Structure 1
Amino acid sequence: MIKTILFDLDGTLLPMDQDLFTKAYFKRLAVKLAPHGYEPNALIDGIWAGTAAMVRNDGSCTNEEAFWKCFRGIFGERVLRDYPLFDEYYRREFQQVAEVCGFNPEAKRTVEELKGRGYRLVLATNPIFPSVATESRIRWAGLEPQDFALYTTYENTGYCKPNPAYYRDIAERLRCEPGECLMVGNDVEEDMVARAVGMEVFLLTDCLINKQGADLSAYPHGGFDELRRYMVESSR
């Protein structure tokens, strides 16, 4: 029986075009840091390198530590001095990125309905952002961080999607069996891999990402209406 529901954020609870989001994110970050000696293209390459370091992380450190170790290796010790600039960016300029994201009231309705029915909810967003950015995106979706028993950020997690260990780690931290969990997400590769550790899955198709052209019939799928019906049927 499903007791815990894991939700992806970007493209799931928060509608978005991933490419538009990434471009808006990098554009504003480059404008913020260019006056402080960070050449835009080099900065973006450095962010991608740090992201790759987080994706490779094996849990031996937090993703935050993995990112800054890589980033410091590229730009030197000055990044430690400039850390407050990055934090300020997420608290100020990053908020404008909400302009390229959508809003779906069905996401909020679904979360509230499932929470009201007693399910424990987890925000299982890929933990490559600091908590301040994750909390902001939760609010852009019309929700609050406290709606979730856990939300993964680069400070509190040492794995990334699509590593199955990311999902296993969540189950262990919540002290529950993977088979008691349902993962809801829009990315076939990153979210449906939760099945590999024994979790149930539901593919939300509103902002579908299916880079490999997988057969969707392999997964329960649909929009929020279908998800709610699926949960009703699963509880019988």
Structure 2
Amino acid sequence: MKSVIFDLDGTLADTSGDLLAAANHCFREMGHGDVLQHGDDAGVALRGGRFMLTAGLKRVGAYDVDTVDRYYPVLLAAYGEAIAEHTTLYPGAMEAVEQLKTLGFAVGVCTNKPEGLARQLLTELDVLEAFGALVGADTLPVRKPDPAPLVETVRRLRCDPRQCLLVGDSDTDRNTARAAGVPSVLVTFGPSGEDMAALEPEALLEDYAALPKVVQALLGPMSI
């Protein structure tokens, strides 16, 4: 069976608003106020918690690695308390997921968000049950761009890791797919969309409505 694996942040959902709110909670505790701005810093948010803390602290001239390490758990706790207040699924994302399943493809999520938070978010968005497997940043000892999380997601779907592709929004996803020897499809509607073409994925995706045809072109149709 062939499978389509999705990244979460910036691919299935725009999570930037809630991530930025969690980071600013930390910066306020430090006495810096709201350092990161909604909209302008969406791309920063989608690079993860440590990246947000690092970027914000450098912006105010207060960066040191110990502060990042100390506040990372604070950020995760704040994020978990308000994980879906501003987060929205991208238009057509779940319709495409369901169409892929109808065509016979298995679907899973492979994210660098901690697994517990990813599971919580997908549950609050009421879409967890749509996916047959979920692997997060801490599910294995390694995370993307190491190919092991992608391979493990496919394994949990009981599919062939040579017959999958990864839908993502970053160089991390492109490099993960390349390391696994499978195609990548990068979305262009996220904050860093204009940079995706330079990564030379097997396909670019401007609209989720096109995804089923893109998948079939890259993996071939399923016989069901």
Normalised by the size of structure 1, how large is the TM-score?
0.62
Query: What is the CA-CA distance between 1:104 and the residue it aligns to?
Result: 2.7
Which deviates more, 3-12 or 113-122?
Answer: 113-122
| Residue 229 to residue 163, structure 1, CA distance change in 2 (3 Å) | same
Partner of 2:50: 48
Query: What is the CA-CA distance between 1:13 and the residue it aligns to?
Result: 0.8
| Residue 213 to residue 225, structure 1, CA distance change in 2 (3 Å) | closer
Partner of 1:198: 181
Distance 1:159 1:210 in 2: 26
Is contact 2:96-2:212 (8 Å) kept? yes
Structure 2: runs of 5+ lacking an equivalent: 33-48, 55-64
Q: CA RMSD in A?
A: 3.8
| Residue 213 to residue 90, structure 1, CA distance change in 2 (3 Å) | closer
Task: Report the identity percentage.
Answer: 23
Query: What is the CA-CA distance between 1:102 and the residue it aligns to?
Result: 3.8
Is contact 2:168-2:187 (8 Å) kept? yes
Partner of 1:9: 8
Structure 1: runs of 5+ lacking an equivalent: 42-46, 53-69
| Residue 165 to residue 103, structure 1, CA distance change in 2 (3 Å) | closer
Higher RCO structure (Cα 8 Å, ≥6 apart): 1
Query: What is the CA-CA distance between 1:130 and the residue it aligns to?
Result: 4.6
| Residue 22 to residue 40, structure 1, CA distance change in 2 (3 Å) | farther
Which deviates more, 166-175 or 178-187?
Answer: 166-175
Tell me the number of residue pairs that the alignment of Structure 1 and Structure 2 aligns: 191
Distance 2:11 2:188 in 1: 8
Distance 2:200 2:115 in 1: 35
Partner of 2:212: 228
Query: What is the CA-CA distance between 1:90 and the residue it aligns to?
Result: 4.5
Is contact 1:108-1:143 (8 Å) kept? no
Normalised by the size of structure 2, how large is the TM-score?
0.65
Q: Deviations over 1:3-50 (max 9, x none)?
A: 11100111111035x5x554322123556xx4xxxx467xxxxx639x
Is contact 1:159-1:166 (8 Å) kept? yes
Query: What is the CA-CA distance between 1:135 and the residue it aligns to?
Result: 2.5
- Which one-letter code corresponds to 2:178 in the other structure? R
Distance 1:28 1:13 in 2: 25
Q: Deviations over 1:105-156 (max 9, x none)?
A: 40111112112333211111114x251x21243256x442222222123442
Partner of 1:106: 92
